Chains A and B, each alone.
Chain A
Amino acid sequence: MEPGKKFSIWRRRFRETALSTVVVLVSVVVGALLVAFEGRSPVAAYGTIVSSTFGSTSNIAYTLSQSSPLILVAMGLVIAFRGSFWNGGGEGQMLLGGITGVIVTYSLHVNNTPLLLLVGFVAAFIVSGAWASISGILKVLFGIDDIVSSLLLSATAAFIVFYLVRVPFASPSTATAAVLASVNIPKAAQFPSVGGISGTFPLAIAGAVVLAWVLAKTKFGFRLKVLGSNRNTAVAYFGKGPTNRLFILISFLSGGFIGMGGMAMVSAFTGNIVAGASGGAYSAGGFTNSYGFIGIAVVFLAGLDPIASIAASIFFVTLVIGGLGLLVLMAVPTSLTISISGVAILFVSARVPIMDRLKALRRPK
């Protein structure tokens, strides 16, 4: 092994990170252009974003806390995409996780926080996991494209949640008919904070670390990697049955993590689920902040790496919160910041070809 050539492997990793950074920068520039088009100063806009997210310790704490649900969702998507499960139903899975958390904690009539949280998270994991695994099963048994079925199921889930919020678990104090809200979770089910940072943050980090370890060190993680790279290889060497079972397990775990993201959202931030008119596609009133889709941008920017996804999640949350700040202070709507995330995903889609072209350019003729 030539030492000089080992360097070339690091060079490749560096190029990948560099490309991700470029994607981020381009998105920022596009965002600036759109803001300027709005008639506002981009500099002021970004200044607002930065100050409202990292301007003070309390803001930093707030930003980090807010990133927890997105990190959990990202973990679910890392599992999915690494294992070749195209999970487009994150929105619906997050909603289901959230409403499960609300229902379970509300119905338990227990005043024990650790117990409520444990049951809530586990229930959310199971329900969302089961929902996502429907797509996995459909793919294995009927060959239905996972992205199509997960998107369709996500829309279906949204309607189910609409009903649950409207009827059995409707908030008794609904002011206007236009805004449907569910009951609030009991106070004991609110996730405690430490020093201003929500406890969900260390939970999410712990989840990421555990996931990173499992993917790198266990046979399960290895098989997942192989399945994600080439299904034929997995079938030929692990067998058709085990590969199919692995795929369904991956879909279950993926939905599970995303469901936990929904539960984290409810338990630490919103306290209930609001079903309204606007929001990202297939979401009930913006509860999910489109994390189900933004999560996809996050994990691809992070190269499907769990730890890097933490950083990428914080970046996107900055855009969203900063976006909220912008909404409040400068009337730039969140839909714009979500669009910017979409543009980021656009560039991510061309990542491999762009890298290949850059490599070809460097080669001496």
Chain B
Amino acid sequence: MAFDLGFFTTLVGTTVFLAAPIVLACLGVQWSELSGVFIFGIEGEMLLGAVAGFLTALATHSLPLGIVAGIATGVGVGILSGFFEVTLGADQIIFAIALLVIGPSLSSYLYGAYVGGRELSTFSTSIPTFTSVPIPGLSSIPLIGPVFNQPILVYVVYILVILTHYFFYHTNMGLKVRSVGMNPLAADSMGTNVQLVRYSVLIIAGILAALGGMLMVMGGTGFWSDNVTAGRGLIAIALVRVGNWRTHLTFGASLVVGLLLASVADLQGIFSGGGAVTTTFPYEVFSTLPYLFAIAVIGISYKWTRSNQPASIGKPYQRG
């Protein structure tokens, strides 16, 4: 393996690409949690958005339509979450578990139901995937060029990160949302409609989760595999805590995870000699790295990054 500039450059590009869905999930978690609502079930939301987008793209041969369908699903799940968690005041952890069960199983079922009955020879099960769009000039910068040679959705992710940070920490509307997360009673008496704020952020989080799921499906091979999100949503939850609910640290941590994932893919290729079954080397260890990293990193950072934790998180707010 030649450790030349080319290798690193590719690594950079893959890192950013693999980190993007995690970043989207992190943004979704941030939006939801800063208003005080847990979203541990985000993995399920990602899968539902992914399957909706995938099947629509498959049926219509149109990627944009698929994205629209995925976003619509995200909105739907957001409204469902809002109804259960905000209007009814359901237990947010149990609701999350419900999503974690429904997400993989329902998406697997829908895929099987749609594809299962058809003749495989006349029917392709893959969809057109995202193509990379290089930004002229920037994409030829040595080493970090690939940062600017990504599918459009990844560029959108960059913009969303900046917008989210600006919104929450430099606008009054963002301040209002955070006040709901800190003390909904006080926020209510200061004129903020707590229920409306929470519904809105849950819908936005749903959209972000759906986009994250879609990016994983449509950015990859174009084929569906069950449980395609593989724990990205979980990792995002951990990373948001590490980042103390602020966007910059979380984004940085996501890039590290992206790097790990990119390395895993490379290392796995090296050590397994191409075939997944033939060597005795425990390359599965590499697959565990992102998860272990997530755990390690919340633990280490606990002492100094809880200052921004929304105090009311997990508790429903209801009028007496």
Contacts and interface: CB of A to CB of B under 8 A. Distances in A.
B268 to A, nearest CB: 12
A293 interface: yes
A359 to B, nearest CB: 14
Contacts of B302: 142-144
A286 B123 CA distance: 28
Nearest to A346: B98
Interface string A254-286: 000000000000000000000001111110000
B107 to A, nearest CB: 8
B226 interface: yes
A177 B299 CA distance: 39
Contacts of A88: 97, 100
B93 A277 contact: no
B9 interface: no
A309 interface: no
Interface stretch (B67-75, B157-165, B181-189, B283-291): B283-291
A149 interface: yes
A228 interface: no
B291 A152 contact: yes
Nearest to A294: B101
Given A296-B97, A352-B91, A354-B88, A149 B295 contact: yes
Q: Is the interface of B mostly helix, strand, loop or mixed?
A: helix
A155 interface: yes
Interface string A148-191: 11011101100110110011000000000100100000000000
B84 A278 contact: no
Question: Which of B43, B234, B241, B302 neighbours the largest number of chain A CB atoms within 10 Å of its CB?
Answer: B234
Interface in B265-292: 275-277, 280, 282, 284-285, 287-288, 291-292
B102 A343 contact: yes
A233 interface: no
Give the contact-size bracket for chain A: 35 or more
B237 interface: yes
B100 A281 contact: yes
A341 B285 CA distance: 32
Interface stretch (B58-66, B108-116, B135-143, B205-213): B108-116
B295 A138 contact: yes
Interface in A306-365: 331, 333, 335-336, 338-339, 341-343, 345-346, 348-354
A346 B227 contact: no
Contact of A350 (B88, B104, B109, B285): B88
Contact of B91 (A162, A282, A331, A349): A349
B84 A350 contact: yes
A185 B89 CA distance: 48
B196 interface: no
A335 B109 CA distance: 5
Contacts of A159: 284-285, 287-288
A91 B282 CA distance: 21
Contacts of A147: 40, 93, 96
A160 B291 CA distance: 12
B285 A163 contact: yes
A20 interface: no
Interface of B: 40, 43, 84, 88-106, 108-109, 112-113, 116, 225-227, 230-231, 234-235, 237-238, 241, 275-277, 280, 282, 284-285, 287-288, 291-292, 294-295, 298-299, 302, 306, 316
* Among all A-B residue pairs, the 3 with the closest Cβ atoms: A342-B102, A342-B101, A349-B94
